[in-house]
Structure 1
Amino acid sequence: MSALYRLTATETRLFFREPIIVFFALGFPPLLLVIFGAIPAFREPDADLGGLRTIDLYVPIIVALSIAMFALNSLCQLLATYREKGVLRRMRTTPVKPAAMLGAQLLMSTAMSVVTMLVALAIGRLAFGVRLPRQVPAYLTSYVLAAVTMFAIGLLVAALAPSGKSAGAVGTVLFFPVVFFAGLWIPRDSMPGVLRTISDFTPLGAGVQSLQDATAGQWPQVLHVAVMLGWTIVAGGLAARYFRWE
C-alpha cells in the first residue's frame, strides 16, 4: 500500500507537469458546460424534453466526457508509452511490481475524474440551477460503473497498441463515437429512435442514461447496467489476456 500511495503521488505530480493534458482532462469539460449554459435556449424549459432544460441534460454528459478523456486520451497513452520506453520492464527488477504502476494510474485517473464530476455538479447547480442528484447512491453506482467500463476499454487500447503514439491515435479515434452516442452533440433525449437504441448499447450511452435516471431519483435500468457490465467484462478480459509489460 505504501508503494501504491507513493506511485500514485508521483504519477499525479507528473500529470500536472503536462499543462495541455491537465487543461483538456480537468479544465475543458467544466468550460464546455459553462459555454453550453451561456446559450439562452439551453436554459429554457423544453416541452419535448418533459419540461427539462437542455442544460439539465448536459451535466451528466459532461461528467461522462471527463471519464472518456481520462480513459482514452490519458490512461492508455501513458501505459503504452511506459511499456515502449521500458519503464514497466525495469520495474520488474525492483520490489515494486508493474501491477502497482497500473493501480496507481487507475487510482489517479479515478480521483481526477471525480474532481471533475464534483466541479461540473457545482457549476451546474450554482451557475444554472441544475438540480443535484436525487438518488445519490444510484448516481455514485452509475458513475463507478461508467468509469470502470471506460477504464477497461482504455486498458484494452494500451494492451494492443504497439507504442504511445499509436495508443493516443486509437484512443482519439474511439473517443469521438463514444462521446457522440453519450449525447455530446445531440442529447440522448433528442436523438432519433435508431440512434438512441444504438446509444443504449454503448458504454457511455448507458452510463449517461443511468446518471440521468439517478438525477431524477431513480435507479439505473437493468439494460444499462447489463451493458456497462458486459463492456467491462469483455474489454477487461481482453486487456488482461493481451496486456504486455514489455
Structure 2
Amino acid sequence: MTTPCASNPPAPTAPTSASTPSLAVLTCEARLFLREPGSLFWILVFPTVLLTILGLVPSYREADDGLGGRRVIDLYVPVAVLLAMIMSGLQAMPPVLAGYRERGILRRMSTTPVRPSALLTAQIALHGAAALGSAVLALAVGRIAFDVRLPGQPAGYLLALLLATASVLALGAMVSALSRTTKVSAAVGSVVYLVMMFTAGVWLPVQAMPDVLRRIVECTPFGAASQALDRAASGGWPGWTHLGVMALWTVLPAAAAGRWFKWE
C-alpha cells in the first residue's frame, strides 16, 4: 500500500508577525500542513477507518478464549493508534524535510534570523500532534462504535503513548538525516514503514504471535509499544522493559539524527 504524502510542499514564507521567530515558523508550517489533505487523511482518518472496517467483521467482535476472553477488535485499537504514528513519523515527515533540503530552503533560512532548527522543531511538533489527535479519535470510535473499554490505567497509557510518539519521530528524523533527496526519503521510509507495520501488529496482533516471534518483536519500538498500550488498556502498569525499549529507540535514533542531519 502506498501512502501519498506531502513530498513537495510549497516553500515556507518568511515570518512577518511580531511573535518570536520559532512561533512564526510553527504558525507558517501549520498552515502548510493543513493544506495537505493527503497527509491529514492518512494520519488522522485512515487508522480509524481501518479500525471501523475490522470492527464490522462479526467474528472480531466475539470473545476469543485464545486471547484471554478478549475480542480481536479490543487488540486493534492500540494497533490503530500505532498506525497513525507510523504514518506521521515515517511516511509524512521525512519527505517534507528532505524536500526542504533538496530545494535549498534550509540553506536560505540559515542566512536569516530564523534558524533551520526552528523548522525541524515545528515539523516534529505538528506531526506529533497529528498522531496524538488520531490516537484520541481511534479510542473514541472504538469506545462508541464497538464498546471497547477505555484504558484502565490512563497514566500508564499516556506514558506509553508519548514514548511511542517520541520513538517514531526520532526514527523519522533519522530517516530524514540519511536521505539527501525526497526519492531516497520515500524509499527508505517505505522500507522502515513496512517493518514497523508488522511489528505494530497491523497484520497480526502482537499478542497473538507465537512466543519466539513475539519476543523478537517486543525488542522493536512498536512491538514494545503495542504490549505497553495493551497492558495499560487492561488496567495494569506498562512493563518497565517495554517502556525502556521505547526510550532506547527514542534516544539512539535522535542522537544519530543529530549527528548526521545536514541542512544543505
User: Could you state the TM-score of these two structures normalised by the residue count of structure 2?
Assistant: 0.90
1:190 aligns with 2:214: no
1:108 to 126, 134, 142: 126
> In the TM superposition, what are the counterparts of 1:129-140 in structure 2 within 5 Å?
129-140=147-158
> In the TM superposition, what are the counterparts of 1:37-186 in structure 2 within 5 Å?
37-186=55-204
Q: Is the 8 A contact 2:110 2:116 kept in 1?
A: yes
Identity %: 45
**2: CA distance, partners of 1:89 / 1:61:** 39
1:13 aligns with 2:31: yes
1:215 to 218, 223, 233: 233
1:18 is displaced (CA, Å) by: 2.2
1:101 is displaced (CA, Å) by: 0.5
Aligned partner of 1:86: which letter?
G
1:201 aligns with 2:219: yes
SS in 1 for 2:70: coil
- Regions of 4+ moved over 3 Å: none
**2: CA distance, partners of 1:219 / 1:165:** 41
Aligned partner of 2:46: which letter?
F
Aligned partner of 2:143: which letter?
R
Aligned partner of 2:258: which letter?
A
1:215 is displaced (CA, Å) by: 0.8
Aligned partner of 2:82: which letter?
A
**1: CA distance, partners of 2:20 / 2:229:** 34
Q: Is the 8 A contact 2:128 2:169 kept in 1?
A: no
> In the TM superposition, what are the counterparts of 1:15-34 in structure 2 within 5 Å?
15-34=33-52
1:235 maps to what in 2? 253
CA RMSD of aligned residues (A): 1.1
Deviation larger for 27-36 or 8-17: 8-17
Deviations 1:115-147 (A, max 9, x none): 101110100000000000111111110011001
Ranges in structure 2 where 5+ consecutive residues have no aligned partner: 1-18
Ranges in structure 1 where 5+ consecutive residues have no aligned partner: none
**1: CA distance, partners of 2:87 / 2:150:** 23
Q: Is the 8 A contact 2:82 2:222 kept in 1?
A: yes
Aligned partner of 1:72: which letter?
L
SS in 2 for 1:55: helix
Aligned partner of 1:161: which letter?
S
1:243 is displaced (CA, Å) by: 0.4
2:13 maps to what in 1? none
**2: CA distance, partners of 1:166 / 1:146:** 25
